[in-house]
Amino acid sequence: MAGKDVPVSPLAPKRQPKVPAVPGVRFATAEAGIRYKGRTDVVLVLLDDGSQAAGVFTRSKCPSAPVDWCRENLAQGKARAIVVNSGNANAFTGLKGRDSVALTAKIAAKAAGCKAEEVFIASTGVIGEPLDATKFESVLADCAKRAADGPWLDAAKAIMTTDTFPKAVSRKAKIDGHEVVIAGIAKGAGMIAPDMATMLSFVFTDAPIAAPVLQALLSKGVKGSFNAITVDSDTSTSDTLMLFSTGKARARGVPEITDPNDARLSGFKRALNALLLELSHLVCKDGEGARKFVEVRVVGAKSARSAKRVALSIANSPLVKTAVAGEDANWGRIVMAVGKAGEPADRDRLDISFGAIKVAEAGARAASYDEQAVSDYMKGEHIVVTADLGLGRGKATVWTCDLTKAYVEINGDYRS
């Protein structure tokens, strides 16, 4: 269904945010005709000299050619350009895929006036189809000439596949009393069960932060955001999340940060983590066919790691997700998901709640159970499911969406 008109998710933001410019970052979009017709499908981002880079990528054993390229180039920590295309993932394309990435980098480097090793590349779309990189020759040079510091929603739209709305957010923070800006875009709606970050996402800041520090912040920041969401339990071959710093805030008196433990980073860390969390939530809210945003909380586990595994067991269960879609508070399916997780659990200590309504306690239906009250709650768009294992202090929260007939329709004719 990619490229076809589909209704915007009812969970989409009512108003798109105004994302401010990030000094040192310019971009432009174009129609390269990679797969879609009549819409932008490529974005070129230009970064000022001296920009630093960090990234986390899929742990899939079948990564795309762009992921291999980015991993190799990330070692030097510098970036001058980013090319992102939609419509073709350039994954499972063998030597042709690697050659395509190399040619794309060469074309982009010429347009940006930098080295090919300073170009990062990401692709999203159909797996297994060769990507004709020559299509970039006619658009990237023009993009470089037109590059501007906004609007960010244009860039977010160009990287969409089955997404129904663009995803762009921003935050401001202070380092040593001086303000810096953070802005990010993301795409993702299906094949979402990250094992590092998820889908494609690019975050930019003007804070003068060294690449190793960016890497430390990003690697830690994804744990409670992009690594805590799931739409359909499938980890993509192309998952890429990158963080770039232009350092332009240095001119406003912001000191360069070279230590991840620098106390002056506290406000920036909070802002970055909040941005990553919001972006990841937008992905769940645009889950293919989604009508409900689901928050799964597990408490009372033996450990935080155990709690997260149980939470993911619940969030990834088709039976749980279809029950939510049908507005059915079927807590028996929560019991099932807890029991199959392979983690310590005690049937007779398990409590389950939907929102603030306790439906099961001490291994049986709650004495105060009210079918009408919980049925009314399930009609909402944001559903919170809490499972208290009663075994310890471990806790975790993950986010997902419901599973509707539309998900099958979208993925049943994805290549059509």
Task: Tell me if 8 sits within 8 A of 406, measured CB to CB.
Answer: no
Quick one: DSSP state of residue 150?
-
Gap between the Cα atoms of 220 and 56, Å rounded: 10
Q: 404 an active-site residue?
A: no
Gap between the Cα atoms of 370 and 236, Å rounded: 41
Give me the DSSP letters along 274-339.
Answer: HHHHHHHHHHHHT-TT---EEEEEEEEESSHHHHHHHHHHHHT-HHHHHHHHTT---HHHHHHHHH
Gap between the Cα atoms of 334 and 315, Å rounded: 9
Please enumerate in sequence order all residues whose Cβ is within 8 A of that of 353, keeping only pairs 6 or more positions apart, or say none.
Answer: 359, 384, 385, 386, 388
Gap between the Cα atoms of 134 and 351, Å rounded: 58
Catalytic residue among 162, 198, 230, 240: 198
161 is in an annotated binding site: yes
As beta bridge partners, residue 245 has 52, 205
- 408, two tokens: 């099958």
Quick one: DSSP state of residue 228?
G
411 is in an annotated binding site: yes
Q: Write down the residue that tokens 């239906």 correspond to.
A: 365
415 CB neighbour count, 10 Å cutoff: 12
Closest of 168, 276, 167 to residue 224, by C-alpha = 276
236 is in an annotated binding site: no
187 is in an annotated binding site: yes
86 is in an annotated binding site: no
Show which residues are catalytic: 198
Annotated binding site, which residues? 161, 187, 198, 288, 411, 416
Annotated binding site for substrate, which residues? 161, 187, 198, 288, 411, 416
